[in-house]
Amino acid sequence: MKRTMMLLALAASLSATGCKKDEPPKQDKKAEAPKPPPEPEVHLPDMAPDEPATKVEGPATAADFEAEADKSLHYENLEAELDRLEAEIAGS
């Protein structure tokens, strides 16, 4: 009976210590959350200006050249201009 009491006491003490919940080891805050890697620098090319330097309004019409023709074409140089334009067209 002594032996049974000793075994019972030993089993009770071992089960009592086995039920004790151990605390998890403490971790450093630095080890808990690693720093994200630094983002690479992105060099963007210079962007275009807000407004383009030229305006595109569509194909040129005869009205677009009328003012220029009034200044450069006269009755005196009409034949010379016509010859120049014919030579330009034939050369292209």
Q: Kindly list the domain boundaries of the chain, sorted by start residue.
A: 66-92
Whether 81 and 73 have beta carbons less than 8 Å apart is answered as yes
What pTM was computed for the model?
0.28
Query: How confident is the model over 15-71, as pLDDT tens digits?
Result: 766 666 667 767 665 556 677 888 888 877 776 667 667 777 788 888 888 888 888
DSSP assignment of 23-82 equals: PPPP--HHHHSPPPPPPPP--PPPPPPSS-SS---SS--HHHHHHHHHHH--TTTHHHHH
